[in-house]
Amino acid sequence: MDKFVITGGTALRGEIPVSGSKNSALPALAAALLTSEPVILKRIPRVRDIRTMQRLLVDIGSRTEVEEETVRLHTPQIVCPEAPYELVKTMRASSLVLGPLVARCGRARVSLPGGCAIGARPINLHIFGLEQLGAHIHQAHGYIEAEAPNGLRGAVVHFDRITVTGTEDLMMAAVLAQGETVLRNAAREPEVANLAELLGKMGARIEGAGTSTIRIQGVEKLTGAEHTIIADRIEAGTFLIAGAITGGDLSITGCNPEHMSALVAKLQQAGVEVTQPDSTSLRVRGNSELRSVDMTTEEYPGFATDLQAQYMALMTQAQGIAIIVETIFENRFMHAQELARMGANIRLDGKQAIVAGPRELTGAGVIASDLRASASLVLAALVARGETVIDRVYHIDRGYEKIESKLARAGAKIRRVE
């Protein structure tokens, strides 16, 4: 298993380019199942979760061609409408094929995901939504079997709570349903809007994506399309925090600053200088006197749960007490104990983490427990005295493209060892 060896203490300087968004690319790949014509997706990040999704699509019946960041998918026929446990247990977003499969061929068999490091993460809302659209759902042997032999029909689906992939799954199911579907209390994430844009190019009729009410008029058939994935706002945010925590001067290029306003506002309150040199870049200049600022995670446009761990690393270096509240996932503080091993003063109390700073961090051996927790350990290591060895970096490889070379180019002392 690969490890990262990081020697802290260097301020990051220069430019870091942002890759395409993993969480936008995953539903876009699944959407290719909705048509028998080729779909060409650009700016697909080269990360492990994307390779997992491609494997799944090939098993289902897609032919895929990959060239650099462009992926061409062609699914003349659905050969096997199934997402097996072996893949779902490694990547929960595999459930994104459920909606497209039922819509395209009237049936799907998808493994239930099981436990996850950051919380229970059930898919009951995906199932509820599909039932509203007329699918019959049967659960047995750890699998969900959905059937709609006569096709799905439009309905009003009110989500009990906001779910990102649930909204995407249902949107993909509804585009081929008969009549109108209205998704209420839908997720407003930019990734949902980007998926709607792709579906629109394929011939779907969708209004309101990016707001909490999405209206979809079903069509009979979708066509091929070409589409570019949006910038990864979580990767961009991670690098912004890297600039801030190391007291550096870093430009993050190829991003969409509008998608990052919650983080930028927090950083500015904490005393970090963040400017926008142009419409696709942000520049961060660190301040040696960071102030603690409380933060609560929320659905978009609130502060992203996917940046909570990284923000916690930053708060270990800030003057005062920061109360960080995690409202989206019930167990997303696994990084706190590892940060504490490096010298951070963090107390956990249910949904809250109380971080008292500043504390000098020192290099230590730590273990990555999930994707964003790993990113927070990398950030802490960049500012820690001495050497940190992060084990199980396969977690970070799920969602960050070449993070070590991007950081090294900005001056970080980071290397991967086997």
Among 13, 72, 107, 121, binds ligand EPU (CB under 6 A): 121
Q: 64 or 327: whose CB is closer to ligand EPU?
A: 327
The whole-angstrom separation of Cα 189 and Cα 147 is 29
Which residue bears the tokens 């927090």? 266
Number of chain positions touching ligand EPU (CB under 6 A) = 25
Min dist. Cβ of residue 51 to ligand EPU (A) = 14
98 lies in the site for ligand EPU, by CB under 6 A: no
For ligand EPU, which stretch binds (CB under 6 A), given 157-165, 192-200, 206-214, 376-384?
157-165
Min dist. Cβ of residue 228 to ligand EPU (A) = 18
Residue 248 near residue 229, CB atoms below 8 Å: no
Q: How many CB atoms lie within 10 A of CB 136?
A: 13
Min dist. Cβ of residue 39 to ligand EPU (A) = 18
Q: 228 or 369: whose CB is closer to ligand EPU?
A: 369
Among 9, 14, 76, 120, binds ligand EPU (CB under 6 A): 120
Site string for ligand EPU, 187-206 (x = CB under 6 A): ----x---------------
Instruction: Output 126-129 pairs: Cβ under 8 A, ≥24 positions apart.
Output: 126/95, 126/98, 126/99, 126/163, 126/165, 126/166, 126/169, 126/170, 128/157, 128/160, 129/157, 129/159, 129/166, 129/169, 129/170, 129/173, 129/183
Checking phi first, is residue 127 left (phi over 0); if not, alpha (psi -120 to 50) or beta? alpha
Active site residue 116: yes
Which residue bears the tokens 């499969």? 101
For ligand EPU, which stretch binds (CB under 6 A), given 68-76, 163-171, 211-219, 263-271?
163-171
For ligand EPU, which stretch binds (CB under 6 A), given 35-43, 60-68, 122-130, 135-143?
122-130
Among 33, 53, 101, 125, binds ligand EPU (CB under 6 A): 125
Min dist. Cβ of residue 179 to ligand EPU (A) = 24
Residue 25 near residue 96, CB atoms below 8 Å: no
Report the site for ligand EPU in 379-408 (rule: CB under 6 A).
399
For the chain, how far is it from start to end, CA to CA, in angstroms?
6
The whole-angstrom separation of Cα 88 and Cα 116 is 11
Q: 120 or 265: whose CB is closer to ligand EPU?
A: 120
- Residue 175 CA: distances (Å) to CA of 3, 162, 198, 216: 43, 20, 12, 6
The whole-angstrom separation of Cα 334 and Cα 349 is 13
Q: 45 or 81: whose CB is closer to ligand EPU?
A: 45
Q: 39 or 125: whose CB is closer to ligand EPU?
A: 125
- Cβ-Cβ contacts under 8 Å for 406 (sequence gap 6 or more): 16, 17, 239
Catalytic residues: 116
What does the binding site for ligand EPU look like in residue numbers (CB under 6 A)?
23, 26, 92-93, 119-126, 161, 163-166, 191, 305-306, 328-329, 371-372, 399
